[in-house]
């Protein structure tokens, strides 16, 4: 009887659990294939992130300046949207 009750509880919990389906590969992985390698030559990638379904990427030069790029999914293109002097240098106060 206990085994049957346990089986019913587990079945109900599994049926009610939200199904989480993640895209594979993630959007940022696909977007990274289209990064303009010639423009970013000599820069190091500081990461990808997503805001409101839009992919962004940061890149740093050897002086600590940051370039932010925005990905256009329709045209598979990247556009520089920001340049920040010393944007890759952390303040250690």
- Chain segment 43-62, per-residue pLDDT in tens: 999 899 999 999 999 999 99
Burial of 85: CB neighbours in 10 Å, binned 0-12, 13-18, 19+: exposed
Residues 6+ apart with CB under 8 A from 82: 66, 67, 68
Distance CA 53, CA 56 (A): 10
Bond preceding residue 25 cis, omega within 30 of 0: yes
Q: What residues have CB less than 8 Å from 64, skipping those under 6 apart?
A: 86, 87, 88, 89
- Going from N- to C-terminal start, the domains of the chain cover 48-93
How confident is the prediction along the chain (93 residues), in pLDDT tens digits per residue? 766 666 677 676 666 655 566 678 888 999 999 999 888 888 999 899 999 999 999 999 999 999 999 999 999 999 999 999 999 987 655
Kindly report whether the global pTM for this prediction surpasses the value 0.75.
no
């Amino acid at each position: 009887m206990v085994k049957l009750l346990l089986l019913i509880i587990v079945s109900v919990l599994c049926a009610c659990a939200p199904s989480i389906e993640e895209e594979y590969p993630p959007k940022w992985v696909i977007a990274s294939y289209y990064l303009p390698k010639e423009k970013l030559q000599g820069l190091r990638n500081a990461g990808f992130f997503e805001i409101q379904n839009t992919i962004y990427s940061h890149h740093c030069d050897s002086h600590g300046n940051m370039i932010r790029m925005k990905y256009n999914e329709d045209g598979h293109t990247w556009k520089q949207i920001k340049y920040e002097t010393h944007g890759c240098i952390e303040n250690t106060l």
